[in-house]
């Protein structure tokens, strides 16, 4: 075969392949099946796409282009158009009435809640049904977190092409499904229940860590709370749950919730990394990179609020990937530096990074949209949150163990010091024992001596009775007690009669013996609570406490007179003396020491003037 023949065949073959390829793209969308056993049809194999870069094509223009075969079949992996400024038209053929059992109503679901504007054109209609996250939730044709439209199957002889026009400043990911009402309701219950469990767990973790921060005031818990708040806002915006239950009347926030929440999430993630792993202690440059990531996250928030959405959305994507990557790198770095808390932390952020990258790649159309890429962020974030909560709890436990170890070491050191002190004490006790005994004996002798000195200072040397000082003290005490208890007492002044002749005749030695006998007889005539004192040569005083009346004082005085009137046997001598007594009663005759003494002394001299050897009771002043 010649070379020219081979070349001709190659050209013909290439032409055939080109025509076949063109024919594949020039066909209209295949019609949908008229029924499905599962109640759901994935529309991806049945749709075609048309890009409108200017956004000015009318529905009539688009129908003409679809009829001319200008549309492109959707990729089998799913409709993921990434970040695009163009308007996109999606067309599919509606099923016709074929059997009496065919459901009259079908539901079209666009399972991506962050699309800005959606216009649905029923077959043959020029008027769209418009919704999107830029519009109030109440405007949606079906109240659902995703965008849902009610479809009516067409007749066999009518137009069948349905069109959906999409515009969004964010990612254009369009999972399309056709549902029967019963299957859609069941699917909605399941999906809402799963999301409710997810957000319930997130809220529980949020409240728990708020309480921990309130109790412990540790920065890591507050940063983790900030991370959870950002994650909750972002996920509520991305899943559409926030549009349904929280900000349904705020379309401006519904449009920003997803990127704004994840920008705050990235900021909280980095702050939590810094406060939990404390990288500034190990690598100042790494901590500086984390701070730069935080600055970028804050700049993303500003861009979302002040600049076009597309710029902030692109910054958010980069910020989220950067923050997660830095968190993973920091955890790996700390793990290599033997930081205990870094192991679980690394695993948690690795899951976040893995699912976050898949989520971002799917948003940009680089990987297909499927169940894992659509919902992996929820599952990944939930696993990550649980692991981070475990890491926080493990950190608390580790810090507690470290604290207990430090306390045990401190107690051991303290016990060692105590043992040393005890040994020193025993040594000191051994050395001081003898000295202590000596000091105790010396103190006992000193105490005894002091007691003797006190007694000598307050006792009459000859008779052993109270002296003038002790008498004055007892008299003051008697006055105080009588005033407090409102009772009476008596003061007796006593002077011996005929005592001076005894001294002159028999000498002072006999006189002293006589005074001792007088003291003994006086003591026998009064109670133990009374006081007998010698205040002069032959002068004595008696304090009678708590008397019943004047008569009792008179009786005691007479007994004293009678006792001292009896002869005294001093050796072989029988001596006869007597006494004169003056008595004053409180408060009748005085209410202080001076007045009582003066009145009793005057009464004693009155007794002497009356003939001695008697008691004279002072007279009460009129």
Catalytic residues: 538
Distance of CA 34 to the CA centre of its chain: 62
Tokens of 567: 């002869």
Q: Other CB atoms closer than 10 Å to residue 10's CB: what's the count?
A: 10
Tell me the DSSP string of 247-309. STT-HHHHHHHHHHHHHHHHHHHHHHHHHHH-GGGT-HHHHHHHHHHHHHHHHHHHHHHHS-H
Burial of 183 per CB tally in 10 Å (0-12, 13-18, 19+):
middle
Region for residue 449 given its phi and psi (left: phi exceeds 0; alpha: psi -120 to 50; beta: otherwise): alpha
Cα separation, 295 vs 293, whole angstroms = 5
Range 431-448 burial, b when 16+ CB lie within 10 A, else e: eeeeeeeeeeeeeeeeee
Show the CA angle centred on residue 31, arms to residues 29 and 35, nearest 5°. 150
Round to whole Å and give the CA distance between 34 and 39.
11
User: Please, what is the Cα angle at 614 between 609 and 618, to 5 degrees?
Assistant: 70
Tally DSSP H helices, then E strands, for the chain. 15, 19
The CB density around residue 489, as the number of other CB atoms within 10 Å, is 21
Closest by CA to 387, choosing from 621, 201, 244, 252, is 201
Task: Give me 452's structure tokens.
Answer: 């003797």
Task: Please choose, from the candidates 260, 298, 273, the residue with its C-alpha nearest in 3D space to the C-alpha of residue 223.
Answer: 273
> Please, what is the Cα angle at 226 between 384 and 394, to 5 degrees?
45
Q: Tell me whether residue 458 is exposed, middle or buried, using C-beta atoms within 10 angstroms of its C-beta: 0 to 12, 13 to 18, 19 or more.
A: middle
Q: Which residue has the tokens 């412990």?
A: 216
């Amino acid at each position: 075969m010649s070379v020219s023949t081979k070349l001709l065949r190659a050209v013909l073959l290439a032409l055939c392949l080109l025509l076949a390829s063109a024919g594949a793209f020039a066909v209209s969308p295949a019609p949908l099946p008229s029924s499905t056993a599962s109640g759901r049809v994935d529309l991806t194999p049945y749709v075609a796409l048309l890009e409108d870069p200017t956004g000015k094509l009318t529905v009539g223009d688009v129908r003409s282009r679809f009829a001319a075969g200008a549309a492109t079949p959707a990729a089998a992996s799913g409709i993921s158009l990434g970040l695009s400024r163009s308007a996109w038209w999606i067309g599919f053929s509606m099923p016709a009435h074929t059997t009496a059992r065919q459901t009259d109503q079908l539901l079209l679901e666009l399972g991506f809640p962050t699309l800005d504007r959606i216009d649905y054109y029923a077959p043959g209609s020029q008027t769209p049904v418009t919704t999107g996250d830029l519009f109030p939730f109440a405007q949606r044709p079906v109240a659902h977190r995703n965008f849902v439209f009610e479809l009516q199957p067409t007749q066999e002889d009518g137009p069948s092409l349905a069109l959906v026009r999409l515009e969004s400043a964010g990612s254009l990911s369009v999972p399309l499904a056709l549902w029967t009402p019963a299957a859609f309701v069941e699917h909605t219950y399941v999906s809402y229940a799963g999301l409710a469990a997810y957000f319930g767990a997130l809220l529980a973790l949020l409240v728990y860590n708020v309480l921990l921060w309130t109790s412990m005031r540790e920065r890591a818990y507050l940063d983790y709370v900030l991370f959870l708040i950002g994650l909750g806002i972002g996920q509520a915006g991305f899943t559409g749950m926030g549009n349904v239950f929280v900000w349904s009347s705020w379309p401006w926030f519904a449009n920003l919730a997803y990127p704004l929440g994840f920008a705050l999430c990235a900021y909280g993630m980095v702050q939590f990394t810094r406060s939990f792993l404390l990288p500034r202690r190990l690598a100042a440059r790494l901590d500086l990179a984390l701070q730069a990531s935080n600055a970028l996250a804050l700049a993303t928030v500003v861009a979302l609020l002040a600049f076009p959405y597309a710029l902030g959305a692109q910054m958010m994507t980069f910020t989220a990937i950067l923050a997660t990557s830095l968190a993973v790198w920091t955890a790996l770095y700390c793990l290599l530096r033997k930081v205990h808390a870094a192991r679980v932390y690394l695993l948690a952020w690795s899951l976040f990074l893995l699912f976050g990258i898949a989520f971002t790649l799917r948003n940009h159309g680089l990987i297909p949209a499927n169940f894992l890429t659509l919902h992996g962020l929820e599952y990944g974030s939930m696993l990550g949150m649980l692991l981070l909560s475990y890491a926080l709890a493990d950190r608390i436990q580790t810090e507690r163990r470290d604290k207990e170890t430090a306390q045990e070491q401190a107690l051991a050191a303290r016990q060692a010091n105590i043992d040393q002190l005890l040994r020193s004490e025993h040594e000191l006790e051994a050395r001081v024992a003898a000295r202590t005994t000596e000091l105790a004996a010396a103190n006992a002798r000193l105490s005894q001596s002091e007691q003797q000195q006190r007694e000598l200072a307050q006792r009459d040397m000859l008779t052993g009775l109270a002296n003038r000082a002790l008498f004055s003290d007892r008299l003051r005490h008697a006055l105080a007690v009588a005033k407090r208890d409102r009772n009476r007492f008596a003061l007796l002044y006593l002077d011996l009669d005929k005592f001076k002749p005894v001294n002159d005749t028999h000498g002072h030695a006999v006189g002293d013996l006589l005074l001792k006998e007088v003291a003994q007889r006086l003591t026998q005539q009064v109670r133990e609570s009374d006081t007998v004192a010698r205040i002069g040569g032959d002068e004595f005083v008696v304090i009678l406490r708590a008397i019943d009346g004047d008569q009792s004082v008179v009786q005691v005085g007479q007994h004293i007179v009678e006792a001292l009137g009896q002869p005294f046997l001093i050796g072989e001598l029988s001596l006869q003396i007597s006494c004169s007594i003056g008595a004053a009663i409180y408060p009748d005759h005085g209410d202080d020491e001076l007045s009582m003494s003066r009145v009793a002394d005057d009464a004693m001299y009155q007794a002497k003037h009356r003939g001695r050897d008697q008691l004279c009771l002072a007279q009460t002043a009129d």
